[in-house]
Amino acid sequence: MRSPTALPTRRLAALAALCAAALLAACHTPGQQRYGLQERFGSGNMHSRLFDAPPAQACEAGRRALLSQGYFINTARADLVEGSKSFQPDLESHLQMTIRMVCVPDGGAGSVTLGFVTALQDAYTVKKGNNSASLGVPTIGSLSLPFMAGSESLVKVGSQTIASEKFYDSFFDLVKGYLHADPAPDGDAAAPQQ
């Protein structure tokens, strides 16, 4: 025969478990559930390639590749090149792409370069605001009146790293094309060994 207190004890235990689950769910931050983990480190080489050239020569080819596509060069060094380009898909939005290539020597001789490339795209939208003017009237005081000559400004609404393998492949192919077209810019190539 079942004891009279067994049933309420089970109900209390179930109720306690339900309360604990609800409490844990309430403590869980909404950002974790909504967005999840964005980065997954792997062994892929989408952002890097080997070049048969010293770092300065590889970064120069990267600079030329960016220039050939209409990018404004922000930084150009022997180990780094960065360029940006603006796009306007429609009247209310603006995109800015920034591509950065870092050139690192790979191997002891320094004749091979490991190039790392990352592209970042920022999105902006036009925000309109109305202006107001104050008018002083001696008997009434100061009046603030809105007028329609509003101002517009760009507001950043998003930023993301480009994660398209095809995009990076096409950039690396363009860089290699500039390396093959001009393998020794400015006569800085090493003298042939005899």
- For residue range 85-131, list pLDDT tens digits in order: 999 988 889 999 999 999 999 977 878 999 999 999 999 998 877 65
Q: For residue 111, what are the contacts with CB-CB under 8 A and spacing of at least 6?
A: 52, 53, 54, 190
167 located within any domain: yes
Number of domains in the chain: 1
- List the CATH number of the domain containing 164: 3.30.530
162 located within any domain: yes
pTM for the complete prediction?
0.65
pLDDT at 6: 52
Q: Which domain holds residue 73?
A: 50-130+149-184
Confidence tier at 29 by pLDDT (50, 70, 90): very low
Q: How far apart are the first and last CA of the chain?
A: 102
pLDDT at 152: 75
pLDDT at 60: 97
* 68 within 8 A of 81, measured Cβ to Cβ: no
28 located within any domain: no
d(CA 168, CA 147): 49
